[in-house]
Amino acid sequence: MLDSHPITSGNPKDQTNTPLKFVYDFSEGNKDLKDLLGGKGANLAEMTNLGLPVPPGFTITTEACRAYLADGAEPPSLRDEVSAHLATLEATMGRRLGQEDDPLLVSVRSGAKFSMPGMMDTVLNIGLGDRSVRGLARRAAAGQPAGGEAAAERFAWDSYRRLIQMFGRTVLGVDGELFEDAIDDAKLAKGAADDLDLDAEDLRALVEVFKEIVRREAGREFPQDPREQMDLAIRAVFDSWNGDRARLYRRQERIPGDLGTAVNVCSMVFGNLGPDSGTGVAFTRDPASGHQGVYGDYLANAQGEDVVAGIRNTVPLAELEHIDPASYDQLLSIMETLENHYRDLCDIEFTIERGKLWMLQTRVGKRTAGAAFRIATQLVDQGLIDMDEALTRVNGAQLAQLMFPRFDLAALAEHGGEAKHPRIAWGIAASPGAAVGKAVFDSYTAVKWSRSGEKVILIRRETNPDDLDGMIAAEGILTSRGGKTSHAAVVARGMGKTCVCGAEELEVDTKRRRFTAPGGIVVEEGDLVSIDGSTGKVYLGRVPVVASPVVEYFEGRIRLPEQTPVAGPEAGPATAGVTGPTTGSAVDPGADQPVADELVTAVHRIMNHADAVRRLAVRANADTAEDAARARRFGAQGIGLCRTEHMFLGERRELVEQLILADGDEERAAALEALRPLQREDFRGLFRAMDGLPVTIRLLDPPLHEFLPDITDLSVRVALAEARREPQENDLRLLQAVHRLHEQNPMLGLRGVRLGLVVPGLFAMQVRAVAEAAAEHVREGGRPRAEVMIPLVGTVQELEIVREEAEAVLAEVRAATGEELEVALGTMIELPRAALTAGQIAEAADFFSFGTNDLTQTVWGFSRDDVEASFFTAYLEKGIFGVSPFETIDRDGVGALVRRAARDGRATRPDLKLGVCGEHGGDPDSVHFFHEAGLDYVSCSPFRVPVARLEAGRAALAERRAAAAVGLAAERVTTA
Ligand code: PEP
Ligand code: MG
């Protein structure tokens, strides 16, 4: 791991062959050196250079940490460098570290490039010892009114016991509980309720107890040498990079494990020197709403940890105006300076030591998703950033978060919280949102009840394609098995439908139409349940839900101050009465609709900008006219994937059964003829909803047996009928067909293009239905842009055969209808062989659409239906990958094939259109990859369309900025 971060990275001294510089004074760094100085160090340096009151200090680089972790020892030159910087610090402060009569004390704090709150170590008050503690007390008392000595004594001994406690725990590895227990014992002995009730004498006694704990537990004396304290603390911070907490946090937050941490050595200032001292945190604007104002907390006579630990109640920052008006005014002015300088919301930690304000930390602050959008546009309006910058300040994950309906937790609390609505399970948060409905245990009931206006939650052990009708009808889906890429999860995400899967504590009994939850809670069909797809929690009863105003906006149910549709990439000219792909919402809401609030307006403005800068077009995966219309409202510029198998469910299943059971050409032709008009109507609906925009229709893909009854159910039915001596001819034929079509590995079996090659007339029927629907749409005055797509092609010969047949059908329909129909014929690239021979395949394809679901499955050899539930958790825990390759494209493997196929395909046919229609098309990281790979469009579920639009805009900007940086570097080289 360490190899990927050579010890020379990022250090300005590298270029000059001089020895590496491991230590930077705060005055030597700046905010752009986060790789080297960590976030905290870089920002302390920046504030120092801005002339803000930062206690002097220095930063030891992440390179020093990486060298230490690689070699198990500090780099040889580090000690001397630290000595030199310490000497400068001592000279600046006018006292030496640990000086007996007036000790300089320092804090030693971790500070990685990315904030890892509380994950690594910090030691305060370094430099104190048995002698200097008395010097500190004397200095603290100096100049104080009479009677101040007792408080100063207390302060000094309290500082000392804090040092031993922190040092003992973090540096010497002593169990922290032992110190806490000793404090409790001291309070008990004194009958004191609060730490503050312990006086100097008590604390002096406690110091002795603490030293004894160290002696006993660590097998050594607490070091009295201040420099030894400092060196050991620095080493402990380096070591804490690889502590369990830090590693776990990094895995969760996807922070690389080989960055290392910087260490900040900073002269101590004290907020616990009396009522004219204190400590606090502040935000330059509200991290929840984004509004400017005075936000933060202050705690008088306290040190930083007291605020974080919540030992005493803080007061709102605004009260500082009355407590210490001069410091308050200075703080507000610094906050303004920082916000103007960083051009963003900053959060700040400060301390007031006897009326003097000190800045201890600042950084660009974390914020909620809504605040991110608001703040970005507020800063544009203040003239601090431009719209390009605003777009980089938000992301697709935040937008997605803003789009989900959610449980109203405030209302939940009002209604008695989880006591009123017991949480009965905690499964995998598979598809976000909040759904409430009556429990149903089969698709049939889900459809029936929803038709009569009931909201239902479909509950299954796991789902399969048979459940699709029920899933469409349900508000949400709950399963007791399967992970994030189980059928339920993938399909639900595709539909933008809430799903909790793998809720293993539930015993689902579909036969008896009920499930049992821990504690013997039984939920019967018709009982209300609430599922939270953002947390995986399942509740009994109805938890109140609030709709997302952002979705209302995309749906066109919110009026904007101004609505100006702008065409994005791939936009065809709009036909009469239908807007083309637009930015923001494609719908013009009526005058009686609610007006956009600040959040919706911010989303609208940023989406407009993303659309203006992006190069990638965004289409939707949609199988129904309704989905297509919604996708268009959400800004989709066409359909990238219509899975026609979804049109063969419900009542049409029987027709497919007839096709499968057909005995001879005549019966087969009759079955196909029965399906054709139904398909034609389906396609007309899509062409109408997407008038003027491309509609990619994929020919039938899944193994045929998916349309037949379950082998076990059918065998039982046949056996029972035989036992009754009432054999059913149809069932017997069905059972034979099920046996005939049964496959050990159906995903690698008779599916995709293979079906078209062995079931005569099937693909021809579908192509004819497409062409006829297009012709009818033309006659209606519409502009159909049909694209027919062949799935699971592995070699150009397969495609050539299907293409020849399709072209013949198209010619026939053209002749019969007299319409000049333009229908593109292309293929999916979803097998490694297809990707490797893309140059040949392109000879028979007008377009490629990468099916990255199957491509991931076949490249890795992972069954997409099984792996998440079986071993992915172990893989994620072992760090084999940080995120499932079914969620985010595996750039090195699957991605490499995509790049190669795109390159080879375009070499054969430069105008080859390239898109992607796997789940990855709506994943933010993957969208960036597809942009970089030069694809023309991504296609994703309607609900992800706005996310993909936003990320496509961000990807275009990132590319532009990278190119500008390269240009700048080249210019520098030329001028040098
Ligand atoms: C794919 O494989 O990526 C794809 C879109 O097809 P499906 O998920 O229907 O197999
Ligand atoms: Mg596929």
Would residue 487 show up in a list of annotated catalytic residues for this protein? yes
pLDDT, residue 312, reads 60
pLDDT of residue 18: 62
Query: Which CATH number covers residue 447?
Result: 3.50.30.10
* C-alpha count within 13 angstroms, C-beta hemisphere, residue 41: 31
The answer on pLDDT for 434 being more than 60 is yes
Residue nearest to atom 5 of ligand 1 (CA): 918
- Percentages of the chain per state (helix, strand, coil), in multiples of 5: 50, 15, 35
Of 644-653, 688-697, 828-837, the least confident = 644-653
- 508 belongs to a structural domain: yes
Tell me the binding residues for Mg(2+): 830, 854
Atom of ligand 1 nearest to the CA of 830: 2
Say what the pLDDT of residue 46 is.
Answer: 97
pLDDT tens sequence across 246-267: 776 676 567 788 899 999 999 9
Q: Give the distance (Å) from ligand 2 centre to CA of residue 531.
A: 29
Pairing of strands 57-60, 122-126: unpaired
- Please tell me the distance from the alpha carbon of residue 75 to that of residue 336, in angstroms, as a whole number: 41
Residue 918 CA to ligand 2 centre (angstroms) = 7
pLDDT in tens, 230-241: 999 999 999 989
Q: Is 917 a catalytic residue?
A: yes
Is 479 part of a structural domain of the chain?
A: yes
Task: Please identify, by atom number, the ligand 1 atom nearest to the C-alpha of residue 850.
Answer: 3
Instruction: Give me the pLDDT at residue 785, please.
Output: 98
Examine residue 608 and state whether it is found in any structural domain, yes or no: no
The ligand placed nearest to the CA atom of residue 852 is 1
Q: Which of 5, 85, 421, 487 is catalytic?
A: 487
Is 284 among the domain residues?
yes
Q: Which residues of 570-584 are buried (b: 16+ CB within 10 A; e: fewer)?
A: bbbebeeebbbbbbb
User: Which of the following is catalytic: 777, 917, 920, 928?
Assistant: 917
The C-alpha atoms of residue 647 and residue 764 are separated, in whole angstroms, by: 16
CA end-to-end distance (rounded Å), the chain: 35
| Residue range 920-946: mean pLDDT, rounded | 97
Task: Provide the residue type at 932 as one letter.
Answer: E
Residue 761 confidence (pLDDT): 96
Q: 3-state secondary structure string, 564-598?
A: CCCCCCCCCCCCCCCCCCCCCCCCCCCCCCCECCH
Indicate the top mutation candidate among 648, 792, 897, 917 to test ligand 1's pocket, ranked by most ligand atoms within 8 A of CB: 917
Q: 118 versus 173: which is more confidently predicted?
A: 173
Same domain, 76 and 216: yes
835, part of any domain: yes
29-65 residue pLDDT tens: 999 999 999 999 999 999 999 999 999 999 999 999 9
Query: Where do the DSSP E strands lie in 812-928?
Result: 824-829, 847-850, 913-916
Strand duo 537-540 + 528-532: pairing: antiparallel
Q: Whose CA is nearest to atom 1 of ligand 1?
A: 851
Looking at residue 220, its pLDDT comes to: 96
* Residue 385 pLDDT greater than 70, yes or no: yes
Based on the domain organization, do 286 and 239 belong to the same domain?
no
Does residue 292 fall inside a structural domain?
yes
Answer yes or no: do 435 and 530 share one domain: yes
Exposed (0-12), middle (13-18) or buried (19+): which is 244, by Cβ within 10 Å?
exposed
pLDDT bin (cut points 50, 70, 90) of residue 818 is very high
Per-residue pLDDT, 419: 63
Summarize pLDDT for 837-876 with one digit per residue, the tens. 999 999 999 999 999 999 999 999 999 888 877 888 788 7
State which ligand 1 atom lies nearest to the alpha carbon of 643.
Answer: 9
pTM for the structure as a whole: 0.80
> Tens digits of per-residue pLDDT, 600-644?
999 999 999 999 999 999 999 999 999 999 999 999 999 999 999
Pocket-testing residue among 619, 698, 706, 828, ligand 1, by greatest number of atoms within 8 A of Cβ: 828
Ligand nearest the Cα atom of residue 918: 1
Residue 211 belongs to some domain of the structure: yes
| 462 or 45, higher pLDDT | 45
Ligand nearest to the CA of 916: 1
C-beta separation of 566 from 611 below 8 A: yes
- Residue ending a domain, choose from 238, 267, 296: 267
Same domain, 330 and 431: no
Residues 285 and 218 in one domain: no
Domain C-terminal end among 940, 955, 971: 940
Q: Enumerate the known binding-site residues.
A: 643, 698, 830, 851-854
- Per-residue pLDDT band for 492 (boundaries 50, 70, 90) equals confident
pLDDT for res 881: 82
Ligand nearest to the CA of 696: 1
Give me the mean pLDDT over the 534-538 stretch: 88
Does residue 591 form part of some domain?
no
Q: Whose CA is nearest to atom 8 of ligand 1?
A: 853
**761 Cα–ligand 1 center, Å:** 23
Which residues have any ligand 1 atom within 6 Å of their CB?
641, 643, 701, 830, 851-854, 917-918
- Distance (angstroms) between ligand 2 centre and the Cα of 776 equals 30
Shared-domain flag, residues 800 and 770? yes
Cα(759) to centroid(ligand 1), Å: 21
Q: What percent of the chain has pLDDT over 90?
A: 67
Predicted local confidence at residue 567, as pLDDT: 45
Mean pLDDT calculated for residue range 432-454 = 92
Q: Is the pLDDT of residue 781 over 90?
A: yes
- Residues above pLDDT 70, as percent of the chain: 90
Are 258 and 289 contained in the same domain? no
pLDDT band at 415 (very low <50, low <70, confident <90, very high): low
Nearest alpha carbon to residue 476 among 405, 416, 420: 405
Same domain? For 763 and 825 the reply is yes
What are the start-end ranges of the E strands in 724-860? 785-790, 824-829, 847-850
**Same-domain status, 218 and 125:** yes
Measure 462 CA to ligand 1 centroid, in angstroms. Answer: 20
Task: Find where tokens 């001069």 sit.
Answer: 326
pLDDT of residue 127: 97
Which residue's C-alpha comes closest to atom 3 of ligand 1? Answer: 851
Annotated binding site for substrate: 643, 698, 830, 851-854
Q: Which CATH number is 658's domain given?
A: 3.20.20.60
- Closest ligand to C-alpha of residue 864 is 1
**Residues in contact with 73: Cβ distance below 8 Å, sequence separation at least 6, in sequence order:** none
* Same domain flag for 96 and 227: yes
Shortest-distance Cα residue to atom 6 of ligand 1: 851
Residues 244 and 283 in one domain: no
Q: Whose CA is nearest to atom 9 of ligand 1?
A: 643
Residue 4 has what pLDDT?
34
* CATH number, domain containing residue 322: 3.30.470.20
| Span from the CA of 856 to the centroid of ligand 2 (angstroms) | 10
Give Dmax over CA atoms of the chain in angstroms. 111
Nearest ligand 1 atom, CA 621? 5
Sole residue written with tokens 């801005």: 50
Mean pLDDT of 194-201: 87
Within 10 A of 675 (CB to CB), how many other CB atoms are there? 20
- What pLDDT shows up at residue 307? 59
Confidence (pLDDT) at 564: 44
Q: Could you tell which of 827, 829, 854 is best to mutate to test the pocket of ligand 1, judged by most ligand atoms within 8 Å of the CB? A: 854
Range of the domain at 440: 404-546
Counting from 1 in the atom list of ligand 1, the atom nearest the Cα of 641 is 5
CA of 468 to the centre of ligand 2 (A): 17
Q: What is the CATH number of the domain that holds 190?
A: 3.30.1490.20
In single-letter form, the type of residue at position 614 comes to R
**Band of pLDDT at residue 335, cut at 50, 70 and 90:** very high
Indicate the number of domains in the chain. Answer: 4
Is the pLDDT assigned to residue 174 strictly greater than 90? yes
Residue 257 exposed, middle or buried by CB count within 10 Å (0-12, 13-18, 19+): middle
| Residue 250 shares a structural domain with residue 292 | no
